[in-house]
Amino acid sequence: MPYIMGIFVPIRLEIGPIEGLVPERVPHITLLYLGERAPTLGPVPLKCFVVRVTRRLAALPPHRPRAIAQLVEGREIYALREYLVSRYGGRERWGDFVPHVTVARIRAKHPDIGAYLEYVRPHVAEVEVDVDSVSLIDVKGGSYVEVDRAPLDC
């Protein structure tokens, strides 16, 4: 089973079907890809914080887009990720860490990225998210099941 460490984001994505684009069922911010390892989590010695899920969209990863995503702002999320990497290891799957919430997955062989971005844009809203824990998530089959949770220092 592949695992990630992430933050579930309580937003509803109201994106209808369009050829080659599949709406994300479980909005989340991936902080760390762990592969087949499922570590036991302990408390995270960082203060709780707030991130902002912006209306800015990006096709990620830039070199060969597989997703349309809303970008996330908040410097504390980088500190959280650095802590998790130092504590649990892990790796980047697609290059540098870009905090984001995946809105839809690209399934087309020759996607029209510009058209996808314009289609999604009216359906996203800016939202602030309280980060008070990190979840260990089993992502097998796209199910995104929380296996464990580590609290932050609130």
- Please state, in angstroms and as integers, the Cα–Cα distance from residue 81 to each residue in 18, 19, 61, 71, following that order: 33, 34, 18, 16
* CATH top class, domain 3-151: alpha beta
Q: What is the pLDDT of residues 30-57, one digit of tens each?
A: 999 998 888 899 999 999 999 999 999 9
Q: What is the pLDDT of residues 51-94, one digit of tens each?
A: 999 999 999 998 899 999 999 999 999 999 999 999 988 766 55
Q: What is the pLDDT of residues 96-125, one digit of tens each?
A: 899 999 999 999 999 999 999 999 999 999
